[in-house]
Amino acid sequence: MAEAGKLQRILLGRIAGAHGIRGEVLIRTFTARPEDIGTYGPLSDGGARWFKIDSARVTARGVVARLAGVADRAAAEALKGAELYVGRDRLPAAGEGEFYHVDLIGLAAVDPEGKPVGEIVAVQNYGAGDLLELRLAGARTTALIAFTDAFVSEIDLAGRRAVVHLPCSGETEAD
């Protein structure tokens, strides 16, 4: 959970490399619509550098963008790997049933009876949908559960908790 007063950063994209010879960069975006990468204002690399997107177009490989102050291929190549962040406060409110990953991290995970199960420590996605990574209560290990209605029946951001249904361990009772 973010400390009070500490700005939460949200990763919106990563510069994959230079595009062409005039200083454009190719950006892999993490926004719902790739073309929205430039709508949040200047983006930070998480440190002292800030980038303003002067123009952008969506291609099959990602967003090709012209950044203010980047005039040639060498300058664009030097930015390869730079991550592009925006402050959480500059993003719109999430829609009904939608959540920003950063808002889920740190939530207490409880079972349907309210007993502690653990804490959400990360949201992963390996290509088949979002997974919540839980640090299990009283254990040093984590577990992944699908972030679907079947496994996560309630998210209470104000109460800082999520009701989760852990899958069975494979053990069955005798009939």
Average pLDDT of the chain is: 89
Can you give the pLDDT at residue 153?
95
Three-class DSSP labels, 51-69? ECEEEEEEECCEEEEEECC
Can you give the pLDDT at residue 6?
45
Residue type at 18?
A: A
* Phi-psi category of residue 33: left, alpha or beta, with phi > 0 → left and psi -120 to 50 → alpha: beta
Collapse the DSSP code of 125 into the 3-class scheme (helix H, G, I; strand E, B; otherwise coil) and give the result: strand
Can you give the pLDDT at residue 73?
97
Which pTM value belongs to this model?
Answer: 0.71
Mean pLDDT of 159-163: 97
pLDDT digits (tens, 9 = 90+) for 7-19: 588 899 999 999 9
Token pair for 147: 């972030």
What is d(CA 73, CA 91) in angstroms, rounded to the nearest whole number?
A: 31
Can you give the pLDDT at residue 8?
82
Mean pLDDT of 58-83: 96
pLDDT-based confidence at residue 51 (cuts at 50, 70, 90): very high
CA nearest to 13, candidates 34, 28, 33, 32 = 28
Collapse the DSSP code of 45 into the 3-class scheme (helix H, G, I; strand E, B; otherwise coil) and give the result: coil
Q: Which domains does the chain have, with CATH numbers?
A: 9-90 (2.40.30.60), 101-164 (2.30.30.240)
pLDDT-based confidence at residue 172 (cuts at 50, 70, 90): very low
What is d(CA 31, CA 171) in angstroms, rounded to the nearest whole number?
A: 41
Instruction: Measure CA of the first residue to CA of the last residue in the chain; give whole Å.
Output: 44
pLDDT digits (tens, 9 = 90+) for 80-128: 999 999 998 898 888 888 898 889 999 999 999 999 999 999 999 888 8
What is d(CA 150, CA 19) in angstroms, rounded to the nearest whole number?
A: 43
What is d(CA 30, CA 49) in angstroms, rounded to the nearest whole number?
A: 20
pLDDT-based confidence at residue 47 (cuts at 50, 70, 90): confident
What is d(CA 76, CA 82) in angstroms, rounded to the nearest whole number?
A: 10
Rg (CA), the chain: 20
